[in-house]
Structure 1
Amino acid sequence: MSYQKPRILLNYKDLFLSLIPLVLIVVVFAGVASQCSFAAKGPTQGQIPHFDVKTALTADAKTLPFPIRNPAVPADWTPNSGSRADITGAGGGAASTVGYITHQGTYMQLTQTAATEEALARFVLGSRYASGTQQLGNQRWTVYAEPTEETAWIADLGTSRVLIKGAGNEGAFKTLAQAIGTAQPLTR
């Protein structure tokens, strides 16, 4: 006589009991590999990666064919990322991007390029279109804002275009835009 139940008599309780050992094995492997943790009070802010924005933008200024600016952002903003990209298509060109975490914990991105405003907008924002303008001092910024997307501002600085984008509030955009407006191009 077989000691197992016939298959027709198996139910969800049997399925659940057979999954318990598998779940325990997965938890043990994840714990050993240090790929999970438990926080009773919920998620906590992780450490912001260090990025040397001054060195990165200085190197970009020496190698890219357009003026690069290093804006003087507030001391409580933390630079955390940077990259270079090529904007393809008509009006494209090289682009330099750096990112900051504001004192409120939101991310703000700064992209500088010699590409046209349209090429830059299509590269970073996809199919979004301008929804207005913002005047700060003597600099006009074209605003790209949609309810479900991050806002972006683009300014034409003559020989280069600048895009700022992020999850920050209007104050963060104005702070970064004013810092760009007062920053002088870095020496080549």
Structure 2
Amino acid sequence: MINLTINGTEHELDVDVRTSLLDALRDHLALTGTKKGCDHGQCGACTVLVDGRRINSCLTLAVMHEGDAITTIEGLGTPGNLNPMQEAFLHHDGFQCGYCTPGQIVSATGMLDEVGKGWPSNVSASLDGGTELSDEEISERMSGNLCRCSAYPNIVDAIRTASGKAAKTGESA
């Protein structure tokens, strides 16, 4: 038995110690927004936030996350109350087939938090923060999330829009 805090709610699960966090979310809690794409950590469709940091849930075991705050796409917003990143993806058509979209949105949310904390990327001009979200910067930071439909220009536009909304309101995208 393990206890996981997912989207602010405690869940007690009886899982095999070999169960990935992704499989615990989808198969034991019916949180199917997090997708199983490659199951090898290469596509990012399974991205969730653990204590605010982006991870591939297919590469970690559920038992490793007792005491962590796990956020899935379902925890970011609801159909009647979307968060700024979800709104921006809708506004900019940041999806085509939609399979990668939950992972893209969760990853972009975590990425904007990293930028807000001043964490540089491989293409950041400075290691001292103050990073401008250029197309190159966004593409580098989102490189772990693949879109087979190639909706990248719209995804970048959505992230840029959401980053502006978050800066104005002071809330997390």
- TM-score, scaled relative to structure 2: 0.30
Instruction: Give the TM-score of the pair, scaled to structure 1.
Output: 0.28
Instruction: Look at both structures and tell me which one has the larger radius of gyration over its CA atoms.
Output: 1
Higher strand share: 1
Greater relative contact order structure (CA < 8 Å, 6+ sep) = 2
